[in-house]
Structure 1
Amino acid sequence: MPASPAPVFAVSDVHGHRDDLVATLRAAGLVDAGERWSGGDAQLYVLGDLLDRGPDGIGVIRLLRGLQAEAPASVHVLLGNHEVLALGMWLHPDEGYLPLWQRNGGLAADQASLTPDDVTWLSNLPAMALVGDDLLVHSDSTAYLGWGRSVGAVNAQVAGMLTRPDPVGVAEVLRGLTQRRRFVGTQGAAQADSMLAAYGGTRVVHGHSIVATLRGVTPGHGALAYAGGKALAIDGGRYNGGPLLLVELSA
């Protein structure tokens, strides 16, 4: 019999809840008691928003960078809007990001603990990934379509915008990734189709918009399949009292 494919897991919007992330990954067998990778050939995708709102965003970055160093073929991190906001604060401090950063739960300790190497790592995080039939992104946004017509082109364009010396690129990426709810309503399935036609796959998997807000209920629910099954929302709203959802996409 052919071997079973390696499982693929996704989690999003950790927002500084490092200990919750560790506990969630341990429960799934992906890290051991020493917080080292134990998932074998399983794949883990973290769909952005590592920082802000929660107690230890820099700890989340350190944890994930360590796991990537141990298992570079297994641990993947995508870019979220809060990473872009942190980059704006670091790279372009005179561009007025402070009020927005404060309103969105920015922590001075996280910002102060970032190193130039962290900034390089954040600046080069991919914006999207295609894994089997799943198109993985942070935001339920169609702004990606303005950045290229293939996964590779989008990732290269976004990295280029974040690393250019002037502030225009960071501002553009931040505007795009803060867009949300493009896959709800009567045109939602068509909007999801536009993403899938450009980049492949049959389902867009995203964080950014809390599942409870998409359902119109209080936090505490699991992942939400919607837009005729063409979108899957996995942000449980941990910073707002909901669960940190680790979803097995291959299940």
Structure 2
Amino acid sequence: MTPEDRFPGPEHPHSGPRHQPDLDVLPYGTYYEPEPAAGYQGTPYDAETYSGYGGARYLEQHWPADGQGHGHTVHAQGLNTDQAPEFPHQGQYDGAYEGQDVYESRDAYEGQDRSGYDDRAGYEPTLPDQPSPALQLPGRDDPPTIELGPPLPDPAAPTYPYPAPGPDEPPGPVYVVGDVHGYLEELRAELRHQGLIDADGHWSAGRARIWFLGDFTDRGPDGIGVIDLVMQLAAEAAAAGGYCRALMGNHELLFLGAAKYGDEPVQSTAGTASFLAAWRLNGGQQNDLDRLEAHHISWLSRLPAVALEDGHLLLHSDTTAYLEYGESIPDVNDAVHSLLSDGSVDEWWDCFRRFTKRFAFRGDAGPTAVHELLDTYGGTRIVHGHSPIPYLTGAVHADDGQPPHIPGPYVYADDLAVAMDGGVTMEGRLLVARLPI
């Protein structure tokens, strides 16, 4: 069986021009500083994977039945949702960027990278301790007992064909989704092809589990639409007995930084820049920034950086920089969330820079780097996004001028690593695959 047979793909609708080569860049320099079969029987409620990061519990409070969020525009210098001033997105490029070729050659990345919430507090609806005064009947010492039945269903609320799983039922299959980068129509087409959503774009996968590997925005036409879809599917999957969760990618850090800090200077190792300038250089879409609301920021800010699912260590970036943030999955996620909550602009920038490194698992030293992460955080194989497969394989340099051929996920580093970024921004493919591969 060929890889094409294993991972057939639909014809994707065209939703905008692709930008290639597809590597992240920094004003005045580069981010990249040189320096077996899954047998694990996990459950979706392991301490290292169970959390509200997928957004379902947040949506119970903030996402009405008609699917329309009601967040407010948020100030770019903070997360104050009580005000709705303008973002500082009117800042201009520094003159040094004008006409600059912002994409660097592949040769710059040949060096191997050797760098070094759990929020279980869910929403629990409660009934008042005392009956409503409207239920008290005058002239009676003992008012009649009124049985409170289930609330009347909202006729506008969606219905789900799948019941919640019983306590002894096993979890559903696991799927992973590579970098989307704003290509909403391609995402819908691939999820539909895999049977995970129906023709109307609603969850149809029952108790399946889906992990998005990060990078929802930038380069493509509708990053906010992608975020809205993932948040919607998180709520619908929870109601169906499955779940839809997501990791924080470096472009989430970049997008949040652009919204929070705008043109505020940061001290980078290659010169002074800003989040907003770097976001624009890396494909930031003004339409996404204009539509970013408080509930998007709250959801994105709580995404985990690392997760472990059925023996698969899920990361966004193919870097060992995660080791610099903790020796366990909860430690790493807590460190990143603490930084996003209380860190300075330079600490944000340093975190973004570290998680933008790549190619740690490629070459002769790649398996050793993979083992460092697996030995620290658990699992038998790493699944990641971030580095487009055409760059990992060299397919981007084809001489015939044709788009890169991406038959499916790329397994490498002695079969210890699986790359899921199919290069959708460079006329490659948006990948959705069931684990194990």
TM-score range (shorter-chain normalised) is over 0.9
Shift of 1:216: 0.9
Q: Give the Cα separation in 1 of the matches to 2:413 and 2:378.
A: 17
* TM-score, normalization by structure 2: 0.55
Whether contact under 8 Å (1:133, 1:203) holds in the other structure is yes
Whether contact under 8 Å (1:87, 1:170) holds in the other structure is no
Whether contact under 8 Å (2:215, 2:250) holds in the other structure is yes
Q: Does 1:22 align with 2:188?
A: yes
Give SS of 2:355's match: helix
Give SS of 2:313's match: strand
Shift of 1:3: 7.8
Shift of 1:115: 0.8
Give the match for residue 80 of structure 1: 249
1:3 to 1:69, Cα distance in 2 relative to 1, 3 A: closer
Whether contact under 8 Å (2:261, 2:276) holds in the other structure is no
1:165 to 1:152, Cα distance in 2 relative to 1, 3 A: closer
> Structure 1 residue aligned with 2:417, among 221, 227, 231?
231
> Structure 1 residue aligned with 2:354, among 176, 186, 189?
176
Shift of 1:98: 2.2
RMSD across aligned C-alpha pairs, in angstroms?
Answer: 1.6
Judge which range, 165-174 or 122-131, deviates more: 165-174
Shift of 1:153: 1.2
Give the match for residue 102 of structure 1: 280
Whether contact under 8 Å (1:89, 1:98) holds in the other structure is yes
1:39 to 1:185, Cα distance in 2 relative to 1, 3 A: same
Whether contact under 8 Å (1:7, 1:250) holds in the other structure is no
> Of the two, which has the highest radius of gyration?
2
Q: Give the Cα separation in 2 of the matches to 1:42 and 1:159.
A: 27
Q: Deviations over 1:36-57 (max 9, x none)?
A: 1111111111000000000100
Give SS of 2:333's match: helix
Q: Does 1:39 align with 2:205?
A: yes
Q: Give the Cα separation in 1 of the matches to 2:193 and 2:348.
A: 36
Whether contact under 8 Å (2:218, 2:282) holds in the other structure is yes
Residue 142 of structure 1 aligns with an amino acid whose one-letter code is T
Give the match for residue 242 of structure 1: 428
Q: Which has the higher contact order (CA 8 A, sep 6+)?
A: 2
Q: Which has the higher helix share?
A: 1
In structure 1, the gaps of 5 or more residues are none
Give the match for residue 50 of structure 1: 216
Q: Give the Cα separation in 1 of the matches to 2:245 and 2:312.
A: 14
Q: Give the Cα separation in 1 of the matches to 2:324 and 2:347.
A: 13
Q: Give the Cα separation in 2 of the matches to 1:87 and 1:164.
A: 14
Shift of 1:5: 5.7
Q: Give the Cα separation in 1 of the matches to 2:232 and 2:169.
A: 29
Give the match for residue 90 of structure 1: 259
Q: Give the Cα separation in 2 of the matches to 1:250 and 1:12.
A: 15
Q: Give the Cα separation in 2 of the matches to 1:109 and 1:97.
A: 17
Give SS of 2:395's match: coil
Q: Does 1:188 align with 2:374?
A: no
Residue 229 of structure 2 aligns with an amino acid whose one-letter code is L
Shift of 1:189: 0.4
Give the match for residue 220 of structure 1: 405
Q: Give the Cα separation in 1 of the matches to 2:298 and 2:409.
A: 32
Q: Deviations over 1:131-157 (max 9, x none)?
A: 111100100011100111111111111
Residue 189 of structure 1 aligns with an amino acid whose one-letter code is P
Aligned residues: 250
1:119 to 1:4, Cα distance in 2 relative to 1, 3 A: closer
Q: Give the Cα separation in 2 of the matches to 1:74 and 1:99.
A: 36
Q: Give the Cα separation in 2 of the matches to 1:35 and 1:122.
A: 21
Give the match for residue 136 of structure 1: 314
Q: Give the Cα separation in 1 of the matches to 2:308 and 2:422.
A: 22
Q: Give the Cα separation in 2 of the matches to 1:220 and 1:52.
A: 23
Give SS of 2:181's match: coil
Q: Give the Cα separation in 2 of the matches to 1:180 and 1:165.
A: 24
Q: Which runs of 4+ in 1 moved over 4 A?
A: 2-5
Whether contact under 8 Å (1:220, 1:236) holds in the other structure is no
Shift of 1:220: 2.2
* TM-score, normalization by structure 1: 0.95
Residue 418 of structure 2 aligns with an amino acid whose one-letter code is L
Judge which range, 153-162 or 163-172, deviates more: 163-172
Q: Give the Cα separation in 2 of the matches to 1:165 and 1:145.
A: 19
Residue 71 of structure 1 aligns with an amino acid whose one-letter code is A
Shift of 1:4: 7.5
Q: Give the Cα separation in 2 of the matches to 1:238 and 1:25.
A: 14
Q: Does 1:146 align with 2:146?
A: no
Shift of 1:32: 1.0
Residue 237 of structure 1 aligns with an amino acid whose one-letter code is G
Percent sequence identity is 43
Residue 115 of structure 1 aligns with an amino acid whose one-letter code is E
Q: Give the Cα separation in 2 of the matches to 1:3 and 1:81.
A: 36
